[in-house]
Amino acid sequence: MLNIKFSYYILSAEIVVIVLGSVQDAPFQTQVLVVSLLAIAITIGVYGLVAAIVKLDDLGLYLLRKSVAGRFNAMQRSVGRGLLVFAPFLMKLLTVVGTIAMFLVGGGIIVHSFSWLNGQFTNIEQWIGGYLGTFSESILSILLDGITGIVAGGLVLAIVSTISRLKNDH
């Protein structure tokens, strides 16, 4: 559960950084207003969606228990069973997709925060795009962001693991 909450904090921080980057040239009051309103809206939307997904299997169980007999109730029972079967699959899928998305967004933030790295990646994308076409530049950009996110995540994991081991040894 701690990892899930930590993931939401990381995602929220990434969203705020992206939004703040898009209004960085605006007056301070505009920045505060835009970031605050979007943070509230995104928080309600994201956590509302997460709550709905988490309760999906409860809805399936509710529909199963509520159905008794009859045509509509048979449909209710089928939908309830379907939700109970679908919910674990959806949760596993979202775990994988969410992890990939966090690496991509985090890597993108890192790449765009360092102009030297961003310039080098742009040169690589254009060079390969010259051979494979401009569509490959878009794919390569996403791939390089993902690799950067994975490397950065690995470095953070190594540092945190080392610090934890050192604390436990003492």
Q: Check residue 161 and give its pLDDT.
A: 92
- Side chain identity at 29, as an amino acid letter? Q
How far apart (Å, rounded) are the C-alpha atoms in residues 125 and 86? 39
70-106: pLDDT as tens digits:
667 888 888 889 999 999 999 899 888 888 988 988 8
How far apart (Å, rounded) are the C-alpha atoms in residues 20 and 31? 7
Tokens read off for 78: 């089928």
- Quick one: pLDDT band at residue 8, thresholds 50, 70, 90? low
**Distance, CA of 25 to chain centre:** 26
